[in-house]
Amino acid sequence: MIGICPHCKINLAQPPFNGRTTNEVMLTIDYRKIIENNLKLKNFKNLGYCELCKATKKDHEEQKQ
């Protein structure tokens, strides 16, 4: 598996977790459903969080440190 969220690219195995989804299999299934049904995920940077895994911009910043 890839170990990252297919939408926002956060590493799933590294903290902070803060209630976000880290199950890669479930994220991949949900992502495929969205893509196969021609639905669009909102832009992570504009929204402030990932609609798929629920990671926030703050989670991304903390993980980069």
pLDDT in tens, 20-65: 999 999 999 999 999 999 999 999 989 999 999 999 999 999 998 8
DSSP element (H, E) containing 33: helix 24-36
pLDDT of the residue at 65: 82
Contact 35, 52 (CB under 8 A): no
The token duo for 24 is 């890669």
Full-model pTM: 0.84
pLDDT of the residue at 32: 94
pLDDT of the residue at 2: 82
Amino acid identity at 29: I
pLDDT of the residue at 1: 58
